Each structure stands twice: as structure tokens, then as C-alpha cells.
Amino acid sequence: MEKQKGILLESGTNEFEIIEFSVGNVFYGINVAKVREIINMVPITKMPCVHPYIDGIFTLRGKVMPLLNLARCLNIETKNDNSKVIVAEMNNYFIGLRVDDVSRIHRISWSQMEPAPSISDSERVVGVVKMENRLIILLDFEKILSEVNPEIGKKLSTVPVSSEELIDARKGKTILVAEDSHMLRELLLKTLNVAGYKTIFAENGQIAWEKIKKLTTNDKPLTEQIQMLITDIEMPQMDGHHLIKKIKEDKDLQELPVIIFSSLINEEMRRKGAALGAFAQVTKPEIEQLIDIIDKKMF
């Protein structure tokens, strides 16, 4: 069963589409932009010495990819033998997500999504969407992916070799980072700081917008206080595209350079980001490429 095509959203509307699925008795959601198709369970080839969340590997349309068992990952007991597989692409990496059932597509506003409460294992949750009769949990698939593929974490914490002169020059520049994933935010901030850059962070687009507006009340021009914004796309309350739209529509803010740093960068998303005014878009976790682009813009 291939997934139905969602409605193509206009850029910067602060809306997105999720595919609702279930594991056990819990409802979850994944951004349509990450999903390539939905299929019935396929034959799996077991692999030695793999991460315990991985059932094995399978082939689909010429691509070999791992199958991640979400029930095992989330420590949920389930006896459903009629599993579905959500074929997802994140960070230029294809993976199958084994789930119990897939129900429908919802179009919602990021403002409907609440940040995850600080409880056990909440770092795996991006946020919670309140529906009429249930809650839908949006998982941090980038964090889950980094657990089964440590190469992602390595790429996020790898600082390119730089001269002392360049590192000193970076110390005079401040970057605002808007990223809701605690793990990715901490890695990104640490790596930028090690490279020499000063940083300010915001947990989502709404908080980033409020911080930017507060900075405009100071006597100094905004671009003398922060020299760049790096933003994710998927964030509760306000997404990165809507944040860029608000910045570029404000004559006092539109000169602020913006880089999109997201796992959602594909051809369609790249067109949307460029149309909104982002001067660069980098796929997570390519931190070396990100720092190279920052340097070229700053200096």
C-alpha cells in the first residue's frame, strides 16, 4: 500500500501534514515530508551484530535499507503480526519503520503541537498534538536514528580543522540557533562553540522570534547583535519556514542571513526555503558543510 499524497502546502504557513500510525495502543505521527511510501511487511534478512532495535535489512525498489522495530525501540508490547512498514528518508538515509497500523493523514498547525513534558524518555519526543479524542505523539526520529547509526552523532560533533586566525575571527560573531531536539541542539551548540562562534539558542521558532524581536528594542541594529540565524524546519509552536517568512517580511529584520539546517531537505523543501529567503540549506548532520557555509557568509 503506497501512501496517499498529502496536500502540497504553501511555504511559511506554519502548517504541516502528519501520517498517524499506532504501536500498541499509542498513537504516533511522522511528518509526511519524511515518508516515501507505506508498504505491507516484507521478507527480512537478519544481520549479525546489529543494533537491538533493528530487525534486519530488506530491499525495496533497488535500495537496501534497515528495518527498525519501533515497538522494541519504545519498549512497547505488541502482538500484531500484520505489521506495516513506513519507508522514511531522513538525513539522506533510508530506513523502514515497523509499526502496527497506519491510519490517516492530518493537516495541522505547528501551534497545535505542545513541547513534550519533562518525563521519562521525553527526549525521544518532539511534541504532542492534541486531537479531539486522543493525543498523537511526534517522535524525534533523528535522535532514534542517531542511536542506531552513531555516524550521525559523529558528523554533528566533527569540527573542521581551522587556522588560529579564523578561530579568533569567529569569536566576534554570534549565531542564533533554533532547534527543538535537545540532543541535536546541544551537539550543534557545542560544535559551533568549539569552532569559535558565540551562540544563543531557542527551543523552537516562536521562542526564536520572541528573542529576535526583543533584540530589536536595543539601541544597536540587530545585525550587530547576532550575525546569523540557523533554524530547523520541524519545531513546535512555530516552524522554521514560518520563522523565516516573518523575518523576511519585516524591513528591520530582513537583512539577517538565515541557514536552514534540517533532516527534511529534499528538492521540494529546498525550493520552499529558497523562495522564503534562506541563503543556504544544509542537510543534517553535515556540520562541516554548515560551518564552511557560515564562514563564507561571515568573512
In tens, the pLDDT along 215-260 reads 999 889 999 999 999 999 988 889 999 999 999 999 999 999 999 9
Decide: 211 and 200 in contact? Cβ < 8 Å.
yes
pLDDT at 11: 62
- Averaged pLDDT for residues 187-194: 92
pLDDT tens-digit map of 270-291:
999 999 999 999 998 899 999 9
Domain 152-298 - what CATH class? alpha beta
Span(s) in the chain for CATH 2.40.50.180: 15-149
Span(s) in the chain for CATH 3.40.50.2300: 152-298
Cis peptide leading into residue 48 (ω within 30°): no
pLDDT tens-digit map of 95-126:
999 999 999 999 988 888 887 776 655 678 88
Closest CA to 259 of 206, 218, 217, 296: 296
Decide: 197 and 166 in contact? Cβ < 8 Å.
no
Closest CA to 38 of 105, 93, 90, 91: 105
Longest Cα–Cα distance in the chain: 64
pTM, two decimal places? 0.83
Give the residue carrying C-alpha cell 564562514. Answer: 295
Tell me the backbone φ, ψ of residue 248, rounded to 5 degrees.
-75, -20
pLDDT at 120: 53
CATH number of 15-149: 2.40.50.180
* Cβ neighbours for 110, distance < 8 A, ≥ 6 positions apart: 14, 15, 16, 205, 235, 236, 237, 238, 239, 242
Tell me the backbone φ, ψ of residue 247, rounded to 5 degrees.
-65, -45
pLDDT exceeds cutoff 90 at 15: no
pLDDT at 133: 85
- Averaged pLDDT for residues 150-160: 78
Q: For the ranges 32-36, 80-84, 200-204, 238-242, which has the lowest average pLDDT?
A: 80-84
- Averaged pLDDT for residues 162-168: 94
Q: Is the dihedral of CA 5, 71, 157, 190 positive or negative?
A: positive
pLDDT band at residue 5 under the 50/70/90 scheme: very low
pLDDT exceeds cutoff 90 at 3: no
Q: For the ranges 12-16, 18-22, 84-88, 230-234, which has the lowest average pLDDT?
A: 12-16
**pLDDT above 70 as % of the chain:** 94
